[in-house]
Chains A and B, each alone.
Chain A
Amino acid sequence: MIFREVEDRDLIAKARRGHVDAYNVLVSRWEKRVFNYLLRLVSNREDAMDLSQDVFLKAYQNLKKLEDPAKFPGWLFRIAHNEAFSLLRKNRPEGEIAGELKSGESSSRMFPIELNLAVQSALGRLSDDQREAVLLKVYQGFKFEEMAEILSCPVSTVKSRLYTALDLLKQTLAPVNMGGTE
């Protein structure tokens, strides 16, 4: 992990001096994580791909503004967050919840594909803010403090969104969990 961090820092330094190839290596390391974060946030593959490209282009253009290269992950996800929410605000009226799960849709016994769909539906029932908190914590492993920086909000707000989301997910995924333990 330490070696990887040093390597990223080195690539950032080279990219800042105009080495596009170094930046491409950096992109190849982060594109899958950024793409999946955006995909689960906007629920559309094409939009997620377009946004990913925009994110990495903006990151390249603003790389000189990144004061501490060790904070690159949080900085990159902050750009991704801004891009995703510009699109969500444009496409969807405020407060609307995507991907409602119909009652009785989750079966008591789940196969891997069904399980994937059940988790996707459960995430889709959350509000954009709650879903993003889960994505950043559970799937990307950011700390509360880092999440607060990415989302530009206090740690207390981060915790509130995440805790509510976890309570909702616990209820929604309970039948799935029961099935899995049979």
Chain B
Amino acid sequence: MNCSSVDLKAHFLGETARAEKNSVEDHLRACQNCREELDRLKLTDATLRTLVDEEPPQRIAFVSDKVFEPRWYQTIWRSGPAMGFASAALLAAAIVAHGFSVNGPARQVATPTVNTAQIEQRIEREVNNRLDAVVAKQRQQTVEMLDAAEKRFEAKRQTDLAVVQQVAQYYQKKTAQLMVAVNQERPPQ
């Protein structure tokens, strides 16, 4: 195997077939140029990977919309076991209804009474429950967002701190070098 027949980039990217891998490695042991090229690729890859992933500025979330949700009968229709159970229940109900229709007890028809106060109470209770749930959910989301923001700020602070330390070290080193240079150039007293 010679340099032109070696796909060094595919080898570096982990895309070489197992059978070919050994011959590429054999070639690398023998060829200084290809080893150097591989080092350059590694260095470029390492530099590319220093790019830090950013957090999305906002979370993506979808809200359940009743209009697009499947209807109850669609859900049942798609579910095999539920469909079987529903059929069995329907059959049982038909048998019981048939039994009552043949020798059934005297039926009493209850007259429905409408209590508006009760209905209003129920509506109010339901609205309050829903409202509480929404408020709790929003509170939870706010807490999560604050936590995430704090973490981001802390990470940024640490990065900035590291940069400042590097700058300080750089200038300390430069100052020390200058001092040495000045001392060397100063005539002996």
A-B complex is real: yes
Chain A: residues with CB nearer than 8 A to chain B?
17-18, 20-21, 23-24, 27-28, 31-33, 35-36, 39-40, 45, 49, 52-53, 56-57, 60, 109, 111-113, 115-116, 119-120, 123, 134, 137-139, 143-144, 159, 162-163, 166, 169-170, 173-174, 176-177, 180-181
Chain B: residues with CB nearer than 8 A to chain A?
9-10, 13, 15, 40-41, 43-45, 47-65, 68-70, 75, 78, 159, 162-163, 166-167, 170
Docked complex Cα distance between A162 and B48 (Å): 14
User: Which residues does chain B contribute within 8 Å of A137, judged by CB atoms?
Assistant: 13
B41, B55, B56, B61: which contacts A166 (Cβ < 8 A)? Answer: B41
Query: Do B15 and A36 touch across chains, with their CB atoms under 8 A apart?
Result: no
Q: Give the A-B pair count, Cβ closer than 8 A.
A: 103
Of chain B, the residue at the smallest CB distance from A167 is B9
Looking at chain A's contact residues, the main secondary structure is helix
A31, A36, A119: which contacts B47 (Cβ < 8 A)? Answer: A119
Looking at chain B's contact residues, the main secondary structure is loop
Contacts A137-B13, A159-B10, A163-B9 given; does A18 touch B59 at CB 8 Å: no
| Selected A-B contacts with CB under 8 Å, 5 pairs | A18-B70, A20-B62, A32-B56, A111-B167, A137-B13
Query: Do B57 and A60 touch across chains, with their CB atoms under 8 A apart?
Result: no
User: Which residues does chain A contribute within 8 Å of B49, judged by CB atoms?
Assistant: 138-139
Query: Do B60 and A31 touch across chains, with their CB atoms under 8 A apart?
Result: yes
Query: Do A173 and B59 touch across chains, with their CB atoms under 8 A apart?
Result: no
User: Which residues does chain B contribute within 8 Å of A143, judged by CB atoms?
Assistant: 15
Of chain B, the residue at the smallest CB distance from A115 is B50
Query: Do A23 and B10 touch across chains, with their CB atoms under 8 A apart?
Result: no
Docked complex Cα distance between A45 and B55 (Å): 11
Docked complex Cα distance between A96 and B75 (Å): 51
Query: Do A20 and B57 touch across chains, with their CB atoms under 8 A apart?
Result: no
User: Which residues does chain A contribute within 8 Å of B9, judged by CB atoms?
Assistant: 159, 162-163, 166
User: Which residues does chain A contribute within 8 Å of B56, judged by CB atoms?
Assistant: 31-32, 35, 49, 52
B45, B62, B75, B163: which contacts A23 (Cβ < 8 A)? Answer: B62
Docked complex Cα distance between A17 and B69 (Å): 9
Docked complex Cα distance between A40 and B53 (Å): 10
Of chain B, the residue at the smallest CB distance from A113 is B163
User: Which residues does chain B contribute within 8 Å of A134, judged by CB atoms?
Assistant: 48
Docked complex Cα distance between A173 and B69 (Å): 51
Contacts A21-B64, A144-B15 given; does A138 touch B48 at CB 8 Å: yes
CB proximity of A44 to chain B, nearest CB, Å: 12
